[in-house]
Structure 1
Amino acid sequence: MTVVSETLTPPFPALPAATVRSTVTVPLRFPDGFTATAEVLTFHGLADGQEHLLLALGDWGRMLPEPSSAYSAPLVRLHSECLTGDVFGSERCDCGPQLREAVEEISAAGGFLLYLRQEGRGIGLYSKLDAYALQDTGLDTYEANLALGHGEDERDYTAAAQMLGAVGATTVRLLTNNPDKAAQLTALGIGVTEQVPTGVHLSPANHAYLAAKRDHTAHTLDLPQPAVASHDEMLARVDALIPRLRERAGETERIRHLPESTMADLKEAGVFQVLSPTAVGGFGLGAETYVEVVRRLARGCPSTAWTVGHLIEHVWMLARWPGKVQDEVFASGPAPLAAATGAPVGAAVKVPGGYSISGRWTFASGVMHSEWALLAVQHDDVRLQCLVPVSDLELLDTWHTAGLRGTGSNDLRAEALFVPEHRAIGWALLGAADNPGSLIHQDPIIHTPMATLLNLVAPATALGAAEHAVELFRERILVRKVKNTREARQADSPLAQARYSRAYGLVATARLHWEEAIRVVTASYQRRPTTMTDHERAAFRLSLGLSGTASAEAVRVIMAGSGGSAHRLSNPLQRIQRDVDVLLNHPTLTLDPILEQAGRGLLGLGITVPSF
């Protein structure tokens, strides 16, 4: 059908006219095999001067209003160009599937697909990719645009209204989830008789993106939310992730932070919500679930387990703050991601309205994925914790280590950074059982003294890593032939059998010590007051320390019997050994001071290190 060039004459005289420049028939074929035929129109006189396209699909001519027939509006989609989604199939957005869906729906109904050259909500391709990088640190899609100095959405649909007017479509049925498109077209003189929602094209990588569109700009999206997970359900979700974590362990170490795909999987499983209070949409589960999640993640990738363990824990720390801060950080969801570091302690100076803080903080695990940072500072004789946006800090790329390379535990620096008074709190109050958050939330875990959970991540990670090492060793010796021996396989050697049983027993010992420590913790937070006695603190820390030592010894026994090829970078055993060696140097597993203070506590002599 030939298009007759028409001008748009709505009751808005400021809108300039546009005319059809050319028409060409183009057969379309999508990767899934779906085909359609489109008449592709170009235009003269578009307000923004861009090369937008209109694809006329189906029996669109009969859908236009004619004086002698009953009126029926064409189905129209305004589709903003998305190179990453439309061409390369990126799962960070839903643009590609929406384009495919729109062509099929409009072909059946008759109407137009307007392909608008407004990449990245109008900010351009490069800026959109820069926004992706910011989203990887915890910002949502709108916050990332603002952080780059752009508007949340810079798209203008004046040209779209001109194009519709030029083909006589002054009233349409609009295929969209975005109410802003309908509002803009209506203001430009295009009648919208119906807003037809598109499907929900959900993937593990775009759940947060779609949720931001739903929550921030009222897109009509009905997204499945993670149900409140039970202990067993949460662990089943984590177990399902382990094979993928193992596949990505090398990449995680190479890029020195968790891959985007891993973060998407973790968020989709609701892992960061484990300790988040139920009142803000979290699961409100206990220490048993938390440490078991970390332990099982370590069977897949110790760097992932370490990072996730701290990010989960920091959500729980944020839930201990007063209500004003909680309203701020939990506004975007039940699991705000934050790094936390207190070594060395920064300096704080009281200024009007808050504090000016300066310092360089090390070992900020999880900072590569965080929107917030919790920083320890000293003001006179009072230790404070300050909550600041990561974007206000200088990130120093210092995490070049032998093990746990994938944690991205870089340094942070600030110089005379202003922190509002409500974002600073005394460390003693925050760490106490009766913290401000305990007056807000009913979840029992919120009363647990903060130092307790801080000690659990390293031993859980070491144990999970050692369990994976035993699994790998077993697989290896059942098939490996050792040079200069008579056995067909290593497992047939009595010495290898003894070595395997020793490693197995060491891991069993580590597990028993670990379980004993968890028993002490759970018994304490189920009573009031929750503060442990010195004897309990000593037993708790001693069990964790001995668990870590046994885990590390098991890995050393395994490596000594695994041959030279186990030290190839492609072999996961060498990575496990390096990761566990680094873990043993963490204060929560450094055995000498643990033995000293535990001995004092067990003998009734009094623990002399308050944070022990």
Structure 2
Amino acid sequence: MTVVSETIAPPSSAAPAAVRSQVTVPLRFPDGFTATAEVLTFHGLADGKEHLLLALGEWEQALLNPAPAGPGPLVRLHSECLTGDVFGSQCCDCGPQLREAVEQIAGAGGFLLYLRQEGRGIGLYSKLDAYALQDAGLDTYEANVALGRGEDERDYTAAAQMLGALGASAVRLLSNNPDKAAQLTALGIDVTEQVPTGVHLSPANHRYLAAKRDHTAHTLDLPPAGTGQDLPPAAAVPTPEDLLARVDALIPGLRERAEETERLRRIPESTMEELKEAGVFHLLSPKAVGGFGMGLETYAQVVRRLARGCPSTAWSAGHLIEHVWMLARWPREVQDEVFAGGPAPLAAATGAPVGAAEKVPGGFSISGRWSFASGVMHSEWALLAVQHENVRLQCLVPMSDVELLDVWHTAGLRGTGSNDIRAEKLFVPEYRTLDWALLGAADNPGSRIHRDPIIHTPMATFLNMVAPAATLGAAEHAVELFRERMMVRKVKHTVENRQADSPLAQARFSQAYGLVATARLHWEEAVRVLSAAFKCQPFTLTDEERARYRLSLALSGEASAEAVRLIMTGSGGSVHRLSHPLQRIQRDVNVLLNHASLTMDPILEQAGRGLLGLGFTIPAETF
């Protein structure tokens, strides 16, 4: 061991420190990589801890060639992580970052500072306590705060002292963390370049990395969990306008395949591929898992525009998008599982009728037959409602574990394939069951994981949007078809060469057009009321606002359906052929009107009570 007593002036903002000792240590990593380090210890460090500096590669030459004339030393500030550095924990990326840093610095010449700041400065025991809180749904920063500690308690004064003791006043910093560069700069170390580290993803650390990216602006191009595919850079993530333009481009193809969709009683695979390629199912998926993290307005517009091409496709796609959002409300363990294949896991969801659950060791045994499983023909997962004693639960099960019953033979929305699901004494592990009230609340487990505002809203208010949006889009398409037909159709027992020249037909068209315009205004009012409420954190919706938005949606559906009725009665007998799109629109709209979000009698009753300040006769959150 060589004892060194020389002291070099430290940065002006940090007290002096001196090199205490220097020893040569050969290094070997589990993958076989080897390097030789000069390990230095110090006197006079501000926090009194036993930090180490590993000088690697041609470090003396790097010190002699500082920036801007030369490259300068490459430096990594690495905080101690016993679980990751020693035991190979996959909950973080510390071990792989340490291995990467040694190789890069050995090649370039510079220093790895091994700083005794376990758990971002809170200590090993507290870090393990934070791990337990992360398992319960908090992110890595929220867990520290919940323990009464700071999000990041690390101080890099000692690091600046160590660099100053070696005369490294200007460095290239190997880090994705902007705080490290900021602190070094404030302490008098000139950071001439910030060199990013790689993304070391494991099945267990995706949310940890996403939290670092989203919470503290780490420069991470993070791929979707469990895939080898790169997450599109920010510039490639579409704006809402870009996404809507992609959807509009799909409409002609949806119209061409509408008859095939109905015949197949499911969305054709070609359509599903187009929807996936357009990123439609990423719409409500959280940004932390590679989704777009968009809001209600864009979602409702996407469903409406898809319905201009095919209402069945709009219905199924709308619910599949919505169910991704529902999965993002679950605790971390479930999210790690379902988002492992990418940001848009497809799931069916149904609660009618509610199944039965029996508590068994490790979880629940569930039985039931569930109807109206929208999206089931394209799903990997099923979300099933069950009753256990006085508690309603939602259970998440793989589609491979349940029986799919082909019963969807209907007059309208045939292309949705909303078949039944049956299970008998199916075991569901406890972590894949969740209290329905907790899942539906604004303060749901996913709201502790994701910052996207849409995750922090009650679920019931969001579930009423698909049917009204699909009904409006279908009616808008019907008006287009009626106009085209009127311009060429010759009507029997009239003197005009085409229907459009008839004053009565002109009046009929204007009435249908006006009804659709009225439906659109009602629909936009409902979206506006809900959007304003969603922007409030915590989410608030008065009885009057709830009554207004539900009434507006119902009136929108009623006006859309009346427009379609007028169009059909004025379009002649040939539109009732099964090959004509107008009859399909009429049948689809008739089925949509029977959905709970558009059934007029109970909506008018409850909305009237809400508008009069009498209070609802049902729980407000279910209306």
Return the TM-score normalized by structure 1.
Answer: 0.64
Report whether the alignment pairs 1:423 with 2:432: yes
Partner Cα separation in structure 2 for residue 289 and residue 483 of structure 1: 45
Cα distance change of structure 1 residues 225 and 527 upon mapping to structure 2, 3 Å threshold: closer
1:471 counterpart letter in structure 2:
E
1:570-585 alignment runs, 5 A limit: 570-585=579-594
Report whether the alignment pairs 1:352 with 2:361: yes
Report whether the alignment pairs 1:397 with 2:420: no
Cα drift, residue 547 of structure 1: 0.3
SS in 1 for 2:557: helix
Partner Cα separation in structure 2 for residue 323 and residue 502 of structure 1: 52
Deviation per CA, 1:234-280, whole angstroms, max 9, x where unpaired? Answer: 10000000000000000000000000000000000000000000000
SS in 2 for 1:363: coil
Cα drift, residue 226 of structure 1: 9.8
Partner Cα separation in structure 2 for residue 217 and residue 265 of structure 1: 23
1:487 aligned to which of 492, 496, 504: 496
Report whether the alignment pairs 1:283 with 2:292: yes
- Give the structure 2 partner of residue 202 of structure 1: none
1:341 counterpart letter in structure 2:
T
- Give the structure 1 partner of residue 263 of structure 2: 254
Deviation per CA, 1:95-137, whole angstroms, max 9, x where unpaired? Answer: xxxxxxxxxxxxxxxxxxxxxxxxxxxxxxxxxxxxxxxxxxx
1:334 counterpart letter in structure 2:
P
Deviation per CA, 1:452-507, whole angstroms, max 9, x where unpaired? Answer: 11100000000000000000000000111001100010000000000000000000
Alignment size in residue pairs: 399
Report whether the alignment pairs 1:445 with 2:450: no
Report whether the alignment pairs 1:457 with 2:461: no
Partner Cα separation in structure 2 for residue 223 and residue 536 of structure 1: 38
Report whether the alignment pairs 1:516 with 2:535: no
- Give the structure 2 partner of residue 297 of structure 1: 306
Cα drift, residue 223 of structure 1: 9.6
- CA contact 1:226–1:270 (8 Å) conserved in 2: no
- Give the structure 1 partner of residue 505 of structure 2: 496
1:51-66 alignment runs, 5 A limit: none
SS in 2 for 1:582: helix
- Give the structure 1 partner of residue 153 of structure 2: none
SS in 2 for 1:374: strand
Deviation per CA, 1:175-215, whole angstroms, max 9, x where unpaired? Answer: xxxxxxxxxxxxxxxxxxxxxxxxxxxxxxxxxxxxxxx99
SS in 2 for 1:312: helix
- Give the structure 1 partner of residue 603 of structure 2: 594
1:232 aligned to which of 204, 228, 241: 241
1:70-469 alignment runs, 5 A limit: 227-469=236-478
Partner Cα separation in structure 2 for residue 564 and residue 349 of structure 1: 55
Cα drift, residue 384 of structure 1: 0.6
- CA contact 2:224–2:231 (8 Å) conserved in 1: no
Partner Cα separation in structure 1 for residue 336 and residue 487 of structure 2: 56
2:437 counterpart letter in structure 1:
A
Q: Which runs of 4+ in 1 moved over 2 A?
A: 214-227
Partner Cα separation in structure 2 for residue 542 and residue 414 of structure 1: 37
Partner Cα separation in structure 1 for residue 225 and residue 450 of structure 2: 26
- CA contact 2:467–2:592 (8 Å) conserved in 1: yes
1:244 counterpart letter in structure 2:
G
Deviation per CA, 1:507-553, whole angstroms, max 9, x where unpaired? Answer: 00000000000011101110022131111111110000000000000
SS in 1 for 2:410: coil
1:284 counterpart letter in structure 2:
G
Deviation per CA, 1:281-331, whole angstroms, max 9, x where unpaired? Answer: 000000000000000000000000000000000000000001110000000
- CA contact 1:226–1:269 (8 Å) conserved in 2: no
Structure 2 unpaired stretches of 5+: 1-222
Partner Cα separation in structure 1 for residue 513 and residue 225 of structure 2: 52
Deviation per CA, 1:355-393, whole angstroms, max 9, x where unpaired? Answer: 010000000010000000000100100111000001111
SS in 1 for 2:384: strand
2:276 counterpart letter in structure 1:
K
Cα distance change of structure 1 residues 215 and 385 upon mapping to structure 2, 3 Å threshold: closer
Cα distance change of structure 1 residues 561 and 247 upon mapping to structure 2, 3 Å threshold: same
Further displaced range: 553-562 or 444-453: 444-453
1:336 counterpart letter in structure 2:
P
Structure 1 unpaired stretches of 5+: 1-213
Partner Cα separation in structure 2 for residue 456 and residue 218 of structure 1: 32
Cα drift, residue 609 of structure 1: 2.0
Cα distance change of structure 1 residues 565 and 427 upon mapping to structure 2, 3 Å threshold: same
Return the TM-score normalized by structure 2.
Answer: 0.63
2:474 counterpart letter in structure 1:
A
Cα distance change of structure 1 residues 222 and 326 upon mapping to structure 2, 3 Å threshold: closer
Cα distance change of structure 1 residues 504 and 222 upon mapping to structure 2, 3 Å threshold: closer
SS in 1 for 2:341: coil
Deviation per CA, 1:1-24, whole angstroms, max 9, x where unpaired? Answer: xxxxxxxxxxxxxxxxxxxxxxxx
SS in 2 for 1:303: helix
- CA contact 1:346–1:359 (8 Å) conserved in 2: yes
Partner Cα separation in structure 1 for residue 428 and residue 229 of structure 2: 37
Report whether the alignment pairs 1:553 with 2:562: yes
Partner Cα separation in structure 1 for residue 416 and residue 256 of structure 2: 16
Cα drift, residue 228 of structure 1: 1.6
- Give the structure 2 partner of residue 562 of structure 1: 571
Partner Cα separation in structure 1 for residue 594 and residue 349 of structure 2: 19
- Give the structure 2 partner of residue 506 of structure 1: 515
2:425 counterpart letter in structure 1:
A
Cα distance change of structure 1 residues 465 and 408 upon mapping to structure 2, 3 Å threshold: same
SS in 1 for 2:613: coil
Cα drift, residue 449 of structure 1: 1.0
- CA contact 2:225–2:289 (8 Å) conserved in 1: no
- CA contact 2:519–2:560 (8 Å) conserved in 1: yes
Partner Cα separation in structure 1 for residue 275 and residue 231 of structure 2: 21
Cα drift, residue 447 of structure 1: 1.3
Deviation per CA, 1:40-77, whole angstroms, max 9, x where unpaired? Answer: xxxxxxxxxxxxxxxxxxxxxxxxxxxxxxxxxxxxxx
Cα drift, residue 564 of structure 1: 0.1
Partner Cα separation in structure 1 for residue 564 and residue 358 of structure 2: 47
Partner Cα separation in structure 2 for residue 552 and residue 274 of structure 1: 28
Cα distance change of structure 1 residues 215 and 317 upon mapping to structure 2, 3 Å threshold: closer
- CA contact 2:386–2:392 (8 Å) conserved in 1: yes
Cα drift, residue 425 of structure 1: 0.4
SS in 1 for 2:421: strand
2:548 counterpart letter in structure 1:
A
Cα root mean square deviation, aligned: 1.9
2:549 aligned to which of 529, 540, 554: 540
Report whether the alignment pairs 1:474 with 2:479: no
Cα distance change of structure 1 residues 216 and 581 upon mapping to structure 2, 3 Å threshold: closer
